[in-house]
Amino acid sequence: MKNIRCKDYETLSKKVANSIIKQITLKPNSVLGLATGSTPIGTYQALIEAYQKGKVDFSQVTVFNLDEYYPISKDNPQSYHHFMMQHFFQHININKDNCYIPNGQAKNIEKECRLYDEAIKQSGGIDLQLLGIGTNGHIGFNEPGRLLHMNTHLTSLKASTIEDNARFFDKIDSVPTKAITMGIGSIMKAKKILLLVSGQKKADIYKKLFEKQLSTDIPVSLLQLHLDVTVMVDQEAYSSEVISDTIVG
Ligand code: F6R
């Protein structure tokens, strides 16, 4: 894994945005895997600014988002559909028909998950996957546990995830307890992965990422098996205890 240390969140966000712009410049019809949460917001802002300056064209890009709460409607302000529209899609020239997010109101969940995986396959697969990381090591909503899932599936959120995400809701009881998420297999099939780690509260899990052990209790540790992962970490989350080749960005 390549490890790029950035002096702050703003630098990290700009660098991640630049990597995405480079990807789209090289392949205008790129397929991007995107994340929600607070970490990628700066990246989306930097991409919107680049778009407004004419530096990137999203017209041929396809997006698959990692996850969506369940059950939730698309226009609920807490849904990831709403998040993506508000923070990114409505500000750029992406074709909304090419923006895929699991349907948080699907009646037939198994079918929804199967069709989601098929759509990823039909698109030619994800060229560049953006990931955040949970304080418990989850990626997407692949939570720590004895078993991990290969494909898109319905999952129950861990108490720690519900607590972490409560900051976006009026009260903890309002946080959905389930989500539809891409599986570890879908993530690992991405050609390139950019993992974003920002802030003091991610410092512990960042260290674990480089412990050279694989465990389903730390789902992010499986990324060590992927051949093209770049970890972008800001100073607050960085630890000098980590033994890895680090580029200062
Ligand atoms: C979001 C997602 C999650 C988040 C993670 C970190 O689509 O899949 O894995 O990336 O929970 O969230 P933040 O960035 O809010 O700390």
Domains plus CATH for the chain? Answer: 2-233 (3.40.50.1360)
Binding site membership of 235 for ligand 1 (Cβ less than 6 Å): no
* 29 flagged as catalytic: no
Given this model, what pLDDT does residue 243 score?
60
Ligand 1 centre to CA of 133 (Å) is: 6
User: Of 13, 34, 36, which is best to mutate to test ligand 1, by the most ligand atoms within 8 angstroms of its C-beta?
Assistant: 36
Whether 246 has a pLDDT exceeding 80, the answer reads no
Looking at residue 164, its pLDDT comes to 95
Give mean pLDDT, residues 168-192. 96
Query: Which distant-in-sequence residues (6+ apart) come within 8 Å of 217 by Cβ?
Result: 137, 144, 145
**Which among 65, 67, 68, 103 is annotated as catalytic?**
67
pLDDT exceeds cutoff 90 at 21: yes
Q: Is 247 exposed, middle or buried (0-12, 13-18, 19+ CB in 10 A)?
A: exposed
- pLDDT reported for residue 210: 85
Nearest CA, atom 4, ligand 1: 132
Q: What is the pLDDT of residue 248?
A: 78
The answer to whether residue 143 is catalytic is yes
Sequence letter at residue 166: A
Residue 236: what pLDDT?
Answer: 96
- For residue 76, what are the contacts with CB-CB under 8 A and spacing of at least 6? 82
What per-residue confidence (pLDDT) applies to 10?
Answer: 98
Is pLDDT of 90 > 80? yes
Average pLDDT, the chain: 96
Q: What is the pLDDT of residue 244?
A: 67
User: Which structure tokens are listed for 158?
Assistant: 């861990």
Interacting residues of 72 by C-beta distance below 8 A, sequence separation 6+: 78, 79, 104, 105, 176
CA gap 64, 99 in Å, rounded: 6
Give me ligand 1 centre to Cα 164, in Å: 9
Q: pLDDT tier at 100 (50, 70, 90 boundaries)?
A: very high
pLDDT at 57: 98
Tens digits of residue pLDDT in 118-153: 999 999 999 999 999 999 999 999 999 999 999 999
Q: What is the pTM of this model?
A: 0.97
pLDDT digits (tens, 9 = 90+) for 48-82: 999 999 999 999 999 999 999 999 999 999 999 99
Residue 249 predicted with pLDDT over 90: no
Q: Which atom of ligand 1 is nearest to the CA of 181?
A: 8
- pLDDT for residue 239: 82
What's the pLDDT score for residue 245?
Answer: 67
User: Is residue 5 over pLDDT 80?
Assistant: yes
